Structure 1
Amino acid sequence: MILTVTLNPSLDRAVEIDTLTRGEVLRATNAHIDPGGKGVNVSRALLANGVASTAVVPCGGEEGAQLVRMLEAEGVAMVAVPIAGRTRSNITIAEPDGTVTKINETGPVLAPAEFAAVIEAVLDAARTADWVVLCGSLPPGPSVEAFGELCARLVAAGARLAVDTSGPALGVAAAAGAALVKPNREELAEAVGSELQTLGDVVEAANALRKAGAGTVLASLGADGAVLIEDSGVVIGRSPVSAPRSTVGAGDALLAGFLSAGATGEAALAEGLAWGAAAVRQPGSRMPGPADMERETVHLDPRPDLGRRLHPRG
């Protein structure tokens, strides 16, 4: 079983439009709402592909109740920790060429007692988990140091810990000895304090996280695919998508696929890339199932050209 922890979950409302024009009245061509948050997406992707998972989510207000109802309707096993604040709502605006504009709320303050309740729920559920996956941004309230202490407690308890977060929290997760970290290009650049222009820059930055204490690094690079750096070496792969609909949740699907396939080696990277590409072909933050996979589009390069430049950002 894979346990996911989303400290700042959300309701994700996605609308598809023809063109985003400021100051105009726009009509949506499609609209829907999904449960949101990185860890929630990982659990939803795993469930859609028959892999056991439980999601820990702090929830509050009517939005939190709706989030719980939607996860229950999808069949996601969960531990819902009640909080006083209102679960946030996010908005995704998707255009036909795959351009995505996101508006994310900050989220509710997680009081010390509420964070302590989440920690206890996580430590209890982690006893039967193969992996514990901490995902997403920190909500207002808990400090980076407190997040690092949670990571350290899980590692000390023998959990295989995977972390997908950003900013200083990524650094403390590495220092705590997370077995796997999954930054994207921007998060990895921020962690090392420099721009990443080539595949070699990505590998160098990933090795800096490994030197800080992380085990495996799985770096998602959007159109440039993903880079896997572990003790056995470096593998780089891509899975092009000809008709993208939304990139929201693609990195979460990548992580879910990688974990589902054993979280090591070329086969796991290939599976993760297939899941991530399948997510890009879905609207909003819908997670792909077996029928959505196109594994034949995955290309791995075990001897990559580290001088190859990455696509421009933006």
Structure 2
Amino acid sequence: MAIATLTLNPALDVTTCTEKVRPQHKLRCSTPRYDPGGGGINVARVVTHLGGEATAVFPSGGPAGAMIVDLLEEQKIVILPVPIAGATRESFTVDEGRPGDQYRFVLPGPELSEDEIAALLDALFGVADVTHIVVSGSLPPGCDPAIFKRIGARCAEQGVKLVIDTSGPALAACEGAGAWLIKPSLREVADLLGREIKSEDDEMAAAGTLQQRGFAEIVVVSLAERGALLVGDGKELRVAAIPVEAKGTVGAGDSMVAAITLASAEGKGIEDALRYGIAAGAATLMTPATELARKEDVERLYAGTGSS
């Protein structure tokens, strides 16, 4: 049982710290930390760290792309980088003081040609023994959101479960794409439906509306500090967040998706999978900068959720 991830717009995450962010001043920063970033890459990292099998497929170009490849190889992540003509983007995070605010600067990334997209999809569907495919993160500039329907059709042909975690117009394009699971935030659900969501009952009803409209068989809605809810597989579930001391927020959603997908691939029921996902998201909050969930933290937090 293996998981493959696709990151269409990866980023080299650069993280540093300065005492105070002020306009029109030179800001002296600490030694930067470099991490491979992008939704699908983060999912593959977490799945691997949790003991699962994952292959990360992504476009790679320029010095930032080469560094992402090097960093993932150092972490023993199985990768299939696809060369592109453009340069992979960088994402820049500045932590202000200790503790303090966090500022995240995200660049747009390169456009991909149709040949490059075709090569990425061929690499993705060439991974052996895959049961789940996760497409996570933003789309690169100029990429047609209909790519999700292309991916969904090929997943259906091969009997693979498709997980999608994206936002904006890309998320709107997931309607009818044949996804097994999507994980929007509550704000993203409200944007999709074009209305305010006013109560817990309304939250569950809104998720049910997305499921009925064919966004996915299972809709998981992230509720931030309140946890998450799920509609699908004949169930309506709400799982509370696990209180932890948060050191950073980067990658928490990706960790949640990774753990849910891994639990499903290992045959766990959807309620246990959701609890495992909540635990992985909380474990990532406990780590600094762009570091992701640690297995020992995930297992400890998961054991405390009343999982079966």
1:150-179 deviation digits (Å, cap 9, x = unpaired): 222222332111100112322332312101
5 Å-filtered alignment, 1:232-243, equals 232-243=234-245
How many corresponding residue pairs?
Answer: 300
* Equivalent residue number for residue 135 of structure 2: 134
Q: CA RMSD in A?
A: 2.3
Moved more, 168-177 or 91-100: 91-100
5 Å-filtered alignment, 1:137-148, equals 137-148=138-149
State the AA in 1 paired with 2:262.
S
The 2-side partners of 1:69 and 1:28 are apart by 24
The 2-side partners of 1:71 and 1:256 are apart by 16
The 2-side partners of 1:242 and 1:24 are apart by 35
The 1-side partners of 2:154 and 2:229 are apart by 28
Poorly superposed stretches of 4+, deviation over 6 Å: none
1:174 is paired with a residue whose SS is coil
5 Å-filtered alignment, 1:261-280, equals 261-262=263-264, 264-280=269-285
* Equivalent residue number for residue 54 of structure 1: 55
The reply on whether 1:69 has 2:70 as its aligned counterpart is yes
Unaligned runs of 5+ in 2: none
Contact 1:239 1:297 in 2 (8 A): no
2:92 is paired with a residue whose SS is strand
1:101 is paired with a residue whose SS is strand
Q: Percent identity?
A: 36
* Equivalent residue number for residue 216 of structure 1: 218
Contact 1:274 1:295 in 2 (8 A): yes
The reply on whether 1:295 has 2:295 as its aligned counterpart is no
Q: Check 1:290–1:74 CA distance in 2 against 1; reply closer, same or farther (3 A cut).
A: same
Q: Check 1:18–1:232 CA distance in 2 against 1; reply closer, same or farther (3 A cut).
A: farther
State the AA in 2 paired with 1:295.
L
State the AA in 2 paired with 1:107.
G
The reply on whether 1:43 has 2:48 as its aligned counterpart is no
The 2-side partners of 1:296 and 1:124 are apart by 33
Contact 2:242 2:279 in 1 (8 A): no
Q: TM-score when scaled to structure 2?
A: 0.89
Unaligned runs of 5+ in 1: 301-314
5 Å-filtered alignment, 1:150-229, equals 150-213=151-214, 214-229=216-231
Contact 1:3 1:54 in 2 (8 A): yes
* Equivalent residue number for residue 88 of structure 1: 89
Shift of residue 31, structure 1, vs aligned partner: 3.9
The 2-side partners of 1:21 and 1:299 are apart by 42
The reply on whether 1:32 has 2:37 as its aligned counterpart is no
Q: TM-score when scaled to structure 1?
A: 0.88
1:168-218 deviation digits (Å, cap 9, x = unpaired): 322332312101111122322222122334333322221122112110111
Q: Check 1:275–1:91 CA distance in 2 against 1; reply closer, same or farther (3 A cut).
A: same
